[in-house]
């Protein structure tokens, strides 16, 4: 999995932001999660090979607005989903990866022991990178392109309190209408992830 410069820059910004909030005695947190993203309708059955899921990494940070609501910011990288096949005697292969920057309002239920359940809704800025190649057996032509835009995100999650400063968190994220309708089309993305969350 590639970890590009925007992820490192965002991680530093989140750390600085949440440290400042902590200095003001406002509860804050940062976290990292690993998981799997699945792109709906990426495989339509006409391909010889198709993999509509990819590993994903998210770095995030946020602050508690009150006892049940948080404001959270994050960056996610999703590795390649890939499809290939032969169409009209020409072999075609496509790979798509994505970068996502989001802001989310997270609303939780009252804590029950060490567990906390929450739902979330927000906006994300997406950038998809496309790599395509076509070959007729004599020559190969490749092309790369990218698109960007804004989409809606929602989901559910649960966290478990290991200590006053550490929680383990599992998330389901649903990214709605990602992609350019005039290019490869829009799609929804399901993401399941888990990782540690550090509180200040």
Q: Would you say 58 and 3 are in contact if contact means Cβ atoms under 8 Å apart?
A: no
Q: What is the pLDDT of residue 22?
A: 43
Q: What is the pLDDT of residue 25?
A: 55
Q: What is the pLDDT of residue 31?
A: 98
Q: What is the pLDDT of residue 18?
A: 47
pLDDT tens digit at each of 200 positions of the chain = 444 555 555 555 555 554 544 445 568 999 999 999 999 988 887 778 999 999 999 999 999 898 789 999 999 999 999 999 888 788 999 999 999 999 999 999 866 689 999 999 999 999 999 999 998 878 889 899 999 999 999 999 999 999 999 999 999 999 999 998 776 678 999 999 999 999 98
The tally of domains found in the chain comes to 1
Phi and psi of 70, rounded to 5°?
-125, 150
Q: In this structure, what CATH number is given to the domain that contains residue 154?
A: 2.40.160.20
Q: State the pTM of this model.
A: 0.82
Structural domain span for residue 114: 5-199
Q: What is the pLDDT of residue 24?
A: 53
Q: What is the pLDDT of residue 23?
A: 46
Q: What is the pLDDT of residue 140?
A: 85
Q: What is the pLDDT of residue 3?
A: 45
Q: What is the pLDDT of residue 89?
A: 81
């Amino acid at each position: 999995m590639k970890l590009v410069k925007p992820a490192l820059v965002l991680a530093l910004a989140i750390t600085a932001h949440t440290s400042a909030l902590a200095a003001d005695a406002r509860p804050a947190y940062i976290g990292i999660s690993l998981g799997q993203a699945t792109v709906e309708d990426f495989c339509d059955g006409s391909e010889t090979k198709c993999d509509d899921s990819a590993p994903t990494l998210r770095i995030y940070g946020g602050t508690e607005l009150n006892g049940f609501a948080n404001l959270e910011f994050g960056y996610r990288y999703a590795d390649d989903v890939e499809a290939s096949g032969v169409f009209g005697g020409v072999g075609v292969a496509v790979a798509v990866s994505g970068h996502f920057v989001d802001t989310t309002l997270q609303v939780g239920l009252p804590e029950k022991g060490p567990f906390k359940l929450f739902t979330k809704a927000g906006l994300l800025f997406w950038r998809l990178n496309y790599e395509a190649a076509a070959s007729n057996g004599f020559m190969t032509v490749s092309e790369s392109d990218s698109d960007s835009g804004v989409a809606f995100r929602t989901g559910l999650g649960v966290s478990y309190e290991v200590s006053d400063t550490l929680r383990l968190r599992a998330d389901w994220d649903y990214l709605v209408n990602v992609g350019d309708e005039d290019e490869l089309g829009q799609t929804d993305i399901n993401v399941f992830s888990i990782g540690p969350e550090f509180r200040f």
